[in-house]
Amino acid sequence: MAGIQDKLKGFDLKKIKEKFSSLFLGSPDILGIDIGNYSVKVVWLKEEGGELKLKTWGHLPIEAKPDASPDERKQQTVNQLRAFLIQKNIPVKQAATAISGNSVIVRYVKFPLLTKNELRATLATEAEPFIPFDIKDVQLSFHILAEVMEEGQKKMETVLVASKKDMVQARVDVLEAVGLRPAIIDVDSFALEGVHERLDAVQGAGSTLYLNLGHSVTNLSIIEAGVTRVVRDIFISGNTFTKAVAKALQCDPAKAEEAKKGFGLMLDQEEKEKALAEGNRDALAVSQAVAGVVKDLVSEVHRSVDFYLSQGPERSVARIVLSGGTARMKNLAKYLTGELKVPVTVLNPLSFIQPPPDVPAEIQPALGVAVGLALRRAKDWV
Ligand SMILES: Nc1ncnc2c1ncn2[C@@H]1O[C@H](COP(=O)(O)OP(=O)(O)OP(=O)(O)O)[C@@H](O)[C@H]1O
Ligand SMILES: [Mg+2]
């Protein structure tokens, strides 16, 4: 079996092209598989007649109990994925997947001018001060963004990615268990870059901030002129909302989940008064609980935007795009537009495909990362 090192080629498209082009000859298809805590998303894109088509997609819920162990959850994921691949009769044998959250650190670092090979050779030593994990436990990758001048010296602006080996291995295990070869292990936020560059709606002046709102984590990234400049994971996400609702309604997680999805946020006074008049206390309580969590999320977004703006006078965030399952929260995009004073929209990662594929609107934003992963390959040759 090839080592993890060989499998962790993600996030750097140039590197992927160089390293994998020969490997893919004759078998260019790759499945994008986004393995989340709540659901697994599968996307297969194929070039047909000069255009990309969506061959297959899947949104597979992980029906593990809330107190399920990581192993039980992993087994559920494998079972779901295996059943799906068999049911759809998918012939593709290679997959791209991604990680995020506590197990991966992304740092933007300026190094003295070195060749790629020199940097590769000294990476662990050079990177150690920037990585809060034991360097032995992580897999390091890097991508050189640009040469910059700093204090009269030429330097290389570099993105460093340190991924915990056990997390990478957990992803590899799932893919191998269903008979797929893990060709690319990416980072959730970087996978969205590929989607971003295909969307007409986000082109134009200013940067785009992505919030990939999942169940256990929210991936925040800011893309400036096609390059991701800020990556940060925030631990306010779908599960945080569910917990707040469960507390407000004094109910179990399953009921809270249902209430969260059913009611969401109420925005205008009229809507609130109507709920009150109808005695719909649950709707009001849910909205209030959700609004409390959104406020915390908004302060985190402000922090990241302020950090980004502080890096240069020409920087601006022109729009925010929501993806992930929680992007479907009723009125969330509208509420955030008001709070953050920039247009906030919900991602349809398949909008560049014509004719529009038949994927329900409530599923589309959740497929963002999986589409980005599926594009990792398709993008090289379209
Ligand atoms: N209509 C809705 N309103 C509010 N929340 C929703 C709605 N539909 C789905 N969600 C929430 O979206 C979350 C799942 O999103 P997603 O599938 O993107 O997560 P995940 O990728 O599995 O999780 P993670 O990446 O954090 O491990 C759940 O918390 C779910 O309750
Ligand atoms: Mg996710």
Domains of the chain, first to last: 4-104+165-199+349-381 (3.30.420.40), 238-340 (3.30.420)
Question: What is the dihedral angle through the alpha carbons of 247, 217, 374, 372, rounded to the nearest 10 degrees?
Answer: 110
- Backbone φ, ψ for residue 163 (5° rounding): -115, 130
Centroid of ligand 1 to alpha carbon of 257 (angstroms) = 10
Residue type at 12 in one-letter notation: D
Centroid of ligand 2 to alpha carbon of 280 (angstroms) = 32
Centroid of ligand 2 to alpha carbon of 189 (angstroms) = 10
Instruction: Map residue 261 onto helix, strand or coil.
Output: helix
Q: How do beta strands 207-213 and 218-224 pair? A: antiparallel
pLDDT digits (tens, 9 = 90+) for 233-247: 999 999 999 999 999
**Which H or E element spans position 239?**
helix 238-249
End-to-end CA distance of the chain: 31
Give the neighbor-by-neighbor strand order of the sheet with 317-323: 227-234, 218-224, 207-213, 317-323, 344-346
Testing ligand 1's pocket by substitution, the residue of 233, 297, 326 carrying the most ligand atoms inside 8 A of its CB is 326
Q: Compute the mean pLDDT over every residue in the chain, rounded to the nearest whole number.
A: 89
Nearest-CA residue for ligand 1 atom 29 is 238
- pLDDT of 290 > 90? The answer is yes
d(CA 171, CA 369): 15
> What is the pLDDT at residue 202?
80
Residue type at 379 in one-letter notation: K
Q: Region 110-138: what's the mean pLDDT?
A: 88
Instruction: Map residue 216 onto helix, strand or coil.
Output: coil
Q: What ligand has the least distance to the C-alpha of 262?
A: 1
d(CA 299, CA 280): 30
- pLDDT of 163 > 80? The answer is yes
Nearest-CA residue for ligand 1 atom 4 is 329
CB-based pocket (< 6 A), ligand 1: 36-39, 214-217, 237-239, 257, 260-261, 264, 324-326, 328-329, 366
> What is the pLDDT at residue 123?
86
Q: What ligand has the least distance to the C-alpha of 101?
A: 1
d(CA 301, CA 213): 12
- pLDDT of 20 > 70? The answer is no
Buried b (16+ CB within 10 A) or exposed e, 255-273: ebbebbbebbbbbeeeebe
Testing ligand 1's pocket by substitution, the residue of 35, 97, 215 carrying the most ligand atoms inside 8 A of its CB is 215
- pLDDT of 381 > 70? The answer is no
**Is 327 within 8 Å of 216 (Cβ atoms)?**
no
pLDDT digits (tens, 9 = 90+) for 336-353: 999 999 999 999 999 999
> What is the pLDDT at residue 162?
94
Q: Return the ligand 1 atom nearest residue 323 CA.
A: 18
- For the chain, give the longest Cα–Cα distance: 70
- Backbone φ, ψ for residue 42 (5° rounding): -125, 135
Q: Say what the pTM is.
A: 0.91
> What is the pLDDT at residue 151?
85
Centroid of ligand 2 to alpha carbon of 34 (angstroms) = 7
Q: Which of 95, 35, 92, 86 is nearest to 61 (CA)?
A: 35
d(CA 375, CA 371): 6
- pLDDT of 47 > 90? The answer is no
Nearest-CA residue for ligand 1 atom 6 is 326
According to DSSP, residue 92 is labeled -
**Which H or E element spans position 76?**
helix 70-88
Centroid of ligand 2 to alpha carbon of 122 (angstroms) = 33
Q: What ligand has the least distance to the C-alpha of 330?
A: 1
- pLDDT of 379 > 80? The answer is no
Q: What ligand has the least distance to the C-alpha of 325?
A: 1
d(CA 91, CA 360): 25
Testing ligand 1's pocket by substitution, the residue of 35, 38, 235 carrying the most ligand atoms inside 8 A of its CB is 38
Q: How do beta strands 94-99 and 181-187 pair? A: parallel
> What is the pLDDT at residue 240?
98
d(CA 44, CA 31): 5
Q: How do beta strands 94-99 and 39-48 pair? A: unpaired
Centroid of ligand 1 to alpha carbon of 124 (angstroms) = 36
According to DSSP, residue 132 is labeled S
pLDDT band at 28 (very low <50, low <70, confident <90, very high): low
Q: What ligand has the least distance to the C-alpha of 324?
A: 1
Query: Helix 281-309 and helix 269-277: axis angle, to 10°?
Result: 160
Centroid of ligand 1 to alpha carbon of 215 (angstroms) = 5
Q: Which of 2, 40, 43 is nearest to 359 (CA)?
A: 43
- Backbone φ, ψ for residue 322 (5° rounding): -100, 135
